[in-house]
Amino acid sequence: MRSARLFIALGAVFTFLFVFAVRNTDSDTFKRFTTTPVEEETTTEEGESYEQDPYVPGMTPELNSKLQKYKRANATFVTLARNEDLEHLLPSIRSIQDRFNSRYHYDWVFLNNKEFSDEFKILTSRLITGEAKYGLINESHWSYPDWIDQKKAAETRKQMKADDIIYGDNEQYRHMCRFESGFFFHHPLMQQYRYYWRVEPETNLYCDINYDVFKFMKDNDKKYGWTISITEFEATIKTLWKTTKDFLSQYPEALHENRLEKFVSFNNLDTYSLCHFWSNFEIADMEFWRGETYSKYFEHLDKAGGFFYERWGDAPVHSIAASLFLDKDDIHYFDDIGYRHPPFYHCPADQSQKGLSCACMPEKTFDWHGSSCLRDYLRAKDIKFDEEYNKKKTT
């Protein structure tokens, strides 16, 4: 009797272990086959073959033969960072990988005005499923141009520090803004790509992104994408708008007839609204920055010296250019991407209705904050909205 009971008990244990092992194996197999995008070949009514978005929930092993066929867009992530940013950058990379890039495996370009350390390269490359590339910035793109009076620039920094203006006395910050405004897209490592997604340290994604945002930009002919908009500190850009109007007087043809003018000016370009897209998150087509119109615009701004004599940021520069030189339909608001850059974040409303999986609280979104420019953007795009209704949707 004891032998029989022992036999039954051992049988139950082995059965449990077998089931447990099978379940774990199946789970691992499922995970393995859902981390890589798959290409779906579909036929249009005209009989043409085209690619469909590869995200397939519950991808099965039968689709494994197609895993390597997915054709990514010509795109990369890009991060301007210092070696000392590593601690705050690693969680940002992990967030991008977990929420998006573990399925699409896009490359990642890191740029620095100094050589990256081996530790930086090893720890960042371990997280990235695409190819990680590390580049040194040309000294001429991170130094004073010949026409800048460095004594005058130093006096500006001193006065801005006294006025308690954020980054007011930061010399390197000014070089960074100039580089991001006019040079990053010309770096040799960026030359092979058309689209980029800018990522900075201490940023975080809150929602799974189950479609290829780069392919979305390409397929819908979008030139600039954003998720948070905000007003600029006027004291940092006192002459930026005047300098822009001087440029427009020389090149009136630069203005697009269907531009997003009301986002940056409420009075027929007389004054600047101070609204801009927060460029710490931007997904854009570098052909726009590399084009003749923007190149002339940046050269005009650079010669004026405002990056050093004031503290012009790349965000208002990019935003003004996109709003005035592009068709407003070329600009896209990534409302479905939950994103945080301290101290603000965007959290999508109606998450269940949109099929989103997010780890953020919609009622705390920056969208309807007094300093947010979302209302101005929606009006400029001629999108009707009920502010009170939208506020309720976030609760």
- Tens-binned pLDDT, residue by residue, of the chain (395 aa): 444 444 444 454 444 444 444 334 333 322 222 333 433 333 333 333 334 444 444 444 444 444 456 789 999 999 999 999 999 999 999 999 999 999 999 999 999 999 999 999 999 999 999 999 999 999 999 999 999 999 999 999 999 999 999 999 999 999 999 999 999 999 999 999 999 999 999 999 999 999 999 999 999 999 999 999 999 999 999 999 999 999 999 999 999 999 999 999 999 999 999 999 999 999 999 999 999 999 999 999 999 999 999 999 999 999 999 999 999 999 999 999 999 999 999 999 888 878 899 999 999 999 999 999 999 999 999 998 766 545 545 43
CATH of the domain at 228: 3.90.550.10
Q: Is residue 93 part of a domain?
A: yes
Q: Is residue 64 part of a domain?
A: no
Farthest CA pair distance, the chain: 102
The span from the CA of 222 to the CA of 283, in Å, is 9
Tell me how many domains the chain contains.
Answer: 1
Task: For residue 258, give both structure tokens.
Answer: 């269907």
Residue 241, domain extent? 75-333
Q: Is residue 13 part of a domain?
A: no
Measured CA distances, 11 to 3, 8, 297, 369 (Å): 12, 5, 78, 63
The span from the CA of 167 to the CA of 176, in Å, is 12
Q: Is residue 167 part of a domain?
A: yes
Q: Is residue 148 part of a domain?
A: yes
Q: Does 387 participate in catalysis according to the annotation?
A: no
Task: For residue 266, give both structure tokens.
Answer: 């409420």
Phi, psi of 178 (to 5 degrees): -65, -40
Question: Is 72 buried (19+), middle (13-18) or exposed (0-12) by CB count in 10 A?
Answer: middle
Q: Is residue 247 part of a domain?
A: yes
The span from the CA of 348 to the CA of 365, in Å, is 8
Whether 234 contacts 160, CB under 8 Å? no
pLDDT at residue 321, as a whole number: 99
pLDDT at residue 385, as a whole number: 78
Whether 107 contacts 140, CB under 8 Å? no
| Amino acid, res. 213 | V
Whether 53 contacts 215, CB under 8 Å? yes
Among the listed residues 282, 287, 310, 387, the single catalytic one is 282
Q: Is residue 51 part of a domain?
A: no
Q: Is residue 4 part of a domain?
A: no
